[in-house]
Amino acid sequence: MSTEIELKYLVSDDNVVSQFTQLLNQHQLTFTQASRQLSNTYFDTNARTLREFDFGLRVRKADDYTEQTIKTAGIVVGGLHQRPEYNVAIEQNIPDLALFPSDIWPAAAHVTELQNQLVAIFTTNFHRTSWQVEVSGSVIEVAYDRGEISAQGQILPINEVELELVSGERDAIFVLAELLCQSFQLTPGRLSKAARGYMLWQEKAALKSEETISFQVPLNPELSVEKAMVIGLEHGLNCLQKAIAQSLAATELAHVKQVFEALSFIQQGLHLHQNLIESAKFEQFDTLLKHAIDSLSWLETAIHINDLTLKSGNYRKKLEYSNQLVSTLKIERSQFPSEEAIQQELMSATFNLLQLHLLKYVLEPVVKPVDKTRSLSEHAKTKLSTNLTAIKDVCGNKLQLTAQEYLVIQKHLFSSLHTGSWFGALYEQASRTEYRRTWLDVFNGIEELATLNLLQQQLNGIEQSSQKLNRWLNTKVDNLLQVINQSYQAAVKVEPYWL
């Protein structure tokens, strides 16, 4: 038995072999190189019994060698896969479960019954080029696989790189991964070939899952502040990678907005715990996050213009009062990044280095000494109250605000909602949900107000704007302000759930 430690990346580049070999030579790293064709058949019962155990079973053929492998339950963090595996050389094409150690099976497993029920469910066939690379006394195997997964008459392409620790220190994986991130268009591989094969076998479109992204961090009051921070950063990293995967599968503004929100969630968490993180590391994270967020600076305006110009939207008929305005908005929309450009950005060094450094920190956190007597609940209460105070400082004691005042508090409210996601699990759900609902009503109203504000700016730039459209817009803003004010007045009356 060995414990497999792998970092996986999906690649969009084609000429990977020559480029990576050249990269190793440029950095004067010692390596050997080999290649071979691998054919794998994966087995399970029709009831997916092995999958329920979180096991993976395959028979691999390479040249004249046949091997059966079972991988047992492991963990995946940010694209780093760690799980035990057992390999046995065989001569037949069907795995023999009796050849594996008897103690690997869960108590509920009946091995003889499983053996009789095994069926081939999908195959993977790919060409593997591998490099054994020496890095500071450690050995890393880098494998580039190009081929396909086949199941139920459907095919998914394989174009990925795996970095596996052969011997030495795990940090060596990150050294090579950083070189990859700086040199290739790629994204962390959250799903293994086996996981994608199962999705294909079940006739689900792999990597096109509309998986719901929840930012609420799974905390409990018994955790230390330091441990809670690490759990939150890992959760944020997973949310970011889910959002990126969805955006790459279907590059819609709603998916890219989830990427932006995940970045903002991580940024908020870092600032909430700045006193725990060494200054140099905090500055590194902060810089990487700002670069990633800045690369999406066009997104908010794009969403507003998309809302205004949708043929089925609430505003399109009114905009037809001004053909010049419609033309201007269409021109602006055409200047936003294309789907291809968005995908390239999400697979760029900016995003991948951020994810890589977050992953490394989550696995090996370095935390500054703090007051050990302070509980997580006390820490959360302080941070939640600070965010609420920031909103009240802008609003004062007023119960009715202007449009500009609401636009000013938007960023404070955005931060406050993220703080609630960081610490909300520590509190009773019903009171938290009610409190959050009222403030979400305010926030959603402000987002619509921001759309109308952009429309007003566009109208101001037109020499002869439609009076009819201006009258409609003024009435729309006034009515919306009434609704937001009502929501705001309701929100400030709700007792904060953390007090």
Give the separation between CA 236 and CA 343, rounded to whole angstroms: 20
**174 — pLDDT class (breaks 50, 70, 90):** very high
Give the separation between CA 140 and CA 172, rounded to whole angstroms: 7
Q: Is the pTM of this model over 0.85?
A: yes
Burial (0-12, 13-18, 19+ Cβ within 10 Å), 136? exposed
Looking at residue 495, what is its pLDDT?
93
Secondary structure of 357-379 in HEC code, one letter for each residue: HHHHHHHCCCECCCCCCCCHHHH
DSSP secondary structure, 151-202, as one string: ETTEEEEEEEEEEEEEES-THHHHHHHHHHHHHS-EEE--S-HHHHHHHHHT
Element (H, E) at 290: helix 279-294
CATH 1.20.120 in the chain is located at 218-298+341-360
Looking at residue 1, what is its pLDDT?
52
Looking at residue 152, what is its pLDDT?
85
**205 — pLDDT class (breaks 50, 70, 90):** very low
Cβ proximity of 110 and 20 under 8 Å:
no
Residue, of 454 and 210, whose pLDDT is higher: 454
Does the domain at 218-298+341-360 match CATH 1.10.3470? Answer given as no
Looking at residue 462, what is its pLDDT?
72
**312 — pLDDT class (breaks 50, 70, 90):** low
Burial (0-12, 13-18, 19+ Cβ within 10 Å), 6? buried
| Backbone angles phi and psi of 231, in degrees to 5 | -60, -40
Cβ proximity of 52 and 105 under 8 Å:
no
The pair of structure tokens assigned to 163 is 């970095």
Q: Over the stretch 42-97, which tens digit does the pLDDT of each residue have? A: 999 999 999 999 999 999 999 889 999 999 887 777 777 778 889 999 999 999 99
Which candidate, 218, 493, 401, places its Cα nearest to that of 412? 401
Which candidate, 485, 483, 400, 487, places its Cα nearest to that of 438? 487
CATH 2.40.320.10 in the chain is located at 2-201
Q: Is the pLDDT of residue 414 over 50?
A: yes
The pair of structure tokens assigned to 296 is 């999406």
CATH assignment of 2-201, among 1.10.1270.20, 3.30.2010.10, 2.40.320.10, 3.30.420.40: 2.40.320.10
CA 243 to chain CA mean position, Å? 4
| Backbone angles phi and psi of 129, in degrees to 5 | -105, 125
Looking at residue 479, what is its pLDDT?
94
The pair of structure tokens assigned to 288 is 């990487």
Give the separation between CA 486 and CA 331, rounded to whole angstroms: 36
